[in-house]
Structures are given as C-alpha cells and as structure tokens.
Amino acid sequence: MTDPLLLIDELTYAWPGEQDPVIRKLSLSIAAGEKVFLAGASGSGKSTLLALIGGLVLPDQGTIDISGQSLNTLSRSARDRFRADHLGVIFQQFNLLPWLDVVGNVTLGCHFSALRRKRTGAVRSAAEALLKAMDLEQRLWHKRADQLSVGQQQRVAAARALIGQPDLVLADEPTSALDRDRRDAFLSLLFREIDRAGSALLFVSHDHELAARFDRTLELSELNGAACHAIEAGA
Ligand code: ADP
Ligand code: MG
C-alpha cells in the first residue's frame, strides 16, 4: 500500500481565548489523486481544519503530514514555502487580488514557488490554458479581478489553485454563492482539471447534495471527538 498523501493524526485545536477545541482528536487520510467531500454544518470547524492543513495555524496536539513531510516540524517560513510548493487553495471568498488582472491572479499561484514554476513550464501560457479549460472567455483575461461576476471569480480562483499541479487542492465551500446549474457546471470543470493535474481534492461544504460526485464523503461531526476511530474502522 502506498503512503497517503495527507495523513492527519489525533488533531486538536482551540482558537486562542476559546476553552473548547473546535477540532478534537481528528484523524483522516487522503490518497494521492483522491477527491474527498467533507461535510459539516456552518460553524463546525471546516475552515479551521483547512487552515490547519494549510499550515496557517498550528495544532495544539496531533500531527499533519503531507507527502511525507510533517508540518509540525517546519518553521513558519518553511511552512509558507511548503504550502506554495504543494497546495492549491480555493478560498470561500476567493481572495483574488482585485487590482490584478485575471491572468495576473492565476500566475500568482507560481509566484512564491520555484518548484511550482518548474512544473508549470511557460507560466503565462499555462495560465491561459487553465482559464480556457475553466471556460473563462478570453475577453475577460485582462480585466481586473474586481470587475468579474462571482461565478467568473470562482473559476479564476480554481485556475490559480490548479496551476503547477499541486499535490493537494483545498476548496472551502467554493460553490456556496452559485445557483444549482452553475454549481454543477463548476464542479465538472474543477474535477476535469483536478484529474488532469493528478491532484487530490479536499472539498468542504455544508451542501450534502454535492457528496455523490466525490470518491468519498466524510462528516466532520463524526471525525471530531471519540467517534473518529469507530468511523475509520467501519470505512
Ligand atoms: P465552518 O467553516 O465550518 O463554518 P469555522 O472553522 O469557520 O467553521 O468556525 C468554527 C469555529 O471557530 C466557530 O466557532 C468560529 O467562531 C471559530 N473561529 C473561526 N475562525 C476564527 C478565528 N480566526 N479566530 C477565532 N475564532 C475563529
Ligand atoms: Mg467556513
């Protein structure tokens, strides 16, 4: 059996000043190329878990390994570099830089990582190919990001996350602002490009309707707390 791409063991985290941890002894693993749906109610800790996996906050207890590298042992700057090299992130609010144009936002995914640039090759043409693949019309490529509709911004955010074939893409409810048809179309585009890049996908959402399209579904409420081992044993 090959090592998992993402391995989380007994992760616990409380936000500073909070008594109760929002993530409690949570364990999970994701294989290379696997597409996993993580469901959880609003406020249950989905974005917190993604911040932990992205190395933006450090766990109180437990470990996170990505591609065999333990995040806990890295310095802050090394974690930033590791994130730039290995992870693509689609944020809930997309976090595009409003003053950059569309192509500039996508190539940004390569800006902080030599490894990512190397994998990408010609960065500009790779960005354009991804934008085309995400169905974003060419007339929009040189518009400022803040002049795009929500659906367009979301496809730019996906292209930015995917450039340079990251090992793992984290997606934080990227479809929550879309109607059903647009949501389904977006997922189809995202999956096609995830498969092409060979990336794994951890997609969090409160919208259970999406679950059937993924390789595997997890419930945050079941992973959190003492129940996690029973769930894994039965999976
Ligand atoms: P979800 O993404 O599932 O809606 P979150 O991870 O955003 O849930 O939030 C889980 C809990 O953590 C909430 O109680 C929220 O108030 C708290 N929380 C989230 N982000 C922060 C933060 N930056 N600082 C302090 N508390 C936070
Ligand atoms: Mg959230």
43: Cβ below 6 Å to ligand 1? Answer: yes
Per-residue pLDDT tens digits for 141-188: 999 999 999 889 999 999 999 999 999 999 999 988 888 888 899 999
Per-residue pLDDT tens digits for 24-77: 999 999 999 999 999 999 999 999 999 999 999 999 999 999 999 999 999 999
Protein residue closest via CA to atom 23 of ligand 1: 15
Phi-psi region of 3 (alpha: psi -120 to 50; beta: other; left: phi over 0): beta
6-230 carries CATH number 3.40.50.300: yes
Q: What is the pLDDT of residue 180?
A: 87
Q: What is the pLDDT of residue 232?
A: 47
Do the bridges between strand 168-172 and strand 200-205 make them parallel or antiparallel, or are there none, so unpaired?
Answer: parallel
pTM of the entire structure? 0.93
Q: What is the pLDDT of residue 93?
A: 83
Give the residue, out of 42, 47, 203, with the most ligand 1 atoms within 8 A of its beta carbon, to mutate for a pocket test.
47
40: Cβ below 6 Å to ligand 1? Answer: yes
Alpha-carbon gap, residue 8 to 171, rounded angstroms? 17
Mean of the pLDDT values across residues 214-225? 95
| Dist. CA 2 → ligand 2 center (Å) | 31
Q: Name the average pLDDT for the chain.
A: 92
Which stretches of the chain are assigned E, i.e. beta strand?
6-13, 23-30, 35-39, 61-66, 69-70, 87-90, 168-172, 200-205, 216-219
42: Cβ below 6 Å to ligand 1? Answer: yes
| Dist. CA 118 → ligand 1 center (Å) | 36
Domain boundaries, the chain: 6-230
